[in-house]
Amino acid sequence: MVTRPLILLDDGGVMNDNRLRGEQWPPLIGEFFAPRLGGTKETWAAANRTIIQDILDPTNWLSRMQTFTDYANFEHVYWLDWLGGMCQLVGITLPSIEESITLARQAESYVISRVRSAFPGASEAIRQLDKEGYVLHTASSESSVHLTLYLEGMGVRDCFGQFYGADLLNTMKEGTEYYSRLFGDLQIAPVDALVVDDSPRALAFARELGACTVLVSKTYEGNSDMLCIGSLAELPALLKKEEKRYLL
């Protein structure tokens, strides 16, 4: 009898399209902040595009991720940089630190609950995997709060057990420690897990511990030994095709 692996799904780039998210966030940020802090919706939207582009610059983002060993400090500084940068561009005085943190948290919840960015077929694939008896958890660098809201928007929140984001593990997804803590929390051996991610680098960390991996990419031309699918929609068929051999 084949033992089915526990499946760990990344979010951005696997379940949800970050490009679509990027298009939907700015106007929603304007909707949230303009009536609360002043300025126009359009100015806030423009400020959000500018600040988030700078924050997510690959070099800047990697530096930020590697600077903080725990998620709580990372999130605290991120919120202040994010809201502070936008306030400066809009011409608004940044509220107190406590109020800024509260507003940033509320803004993220407001926006995420309204964003719809699932890849075609992603929700259906998740439903199918759940129906077939696979145990699903997330394995993302986002916070568990964000993951819960995004999966609610997809209509698949009930298909998942734990919403593992960096906050629950209190470490960034920047090394084997992330997956070590995740496997430890689930009390499973790495070999019994299948990690699905769009980042070859993240998958390398999981494989180093002994986990099985699948890369989601339409353009990957690297190691031919790496299992690769073009989208999450293809995962149920891949698992069914390989189940007899249990390559996992």
Amino acid residing at 109 = S
Q: Is 233 left (phi over 0), alpha (psi -120 to 50) or beta?
A: alpha
pLDDT tens sequence for the chain (248 residues): 346 889 999 999 999 999 999 999 999 999 999 999 999 999 999 999 999 999 999 999 888 888 887 898 999 999 999 999 999 999 999 999 999 999 999 999 999 999 999 999 999 999 999 999 999 999 999 999 999 999 999 999 999 999 999 999 999 999 999 999 999 999 999 999 999 999 999 999 999 999 999 999 998 776 667 899 999 999 999 999 877 554 44
SS3 187: coil
- Name the fold adopted by 6-17+118-242: Rossmann fold (3.40.50)
Sign (positive or negative) of CA dihedral 199, 148, 152, 194: positive
The span from the CA of 163 to the CA of 153, in Å, is: 14
- Cα end-to-end span (Å), the chain: 14
pTM of the model: 0.92
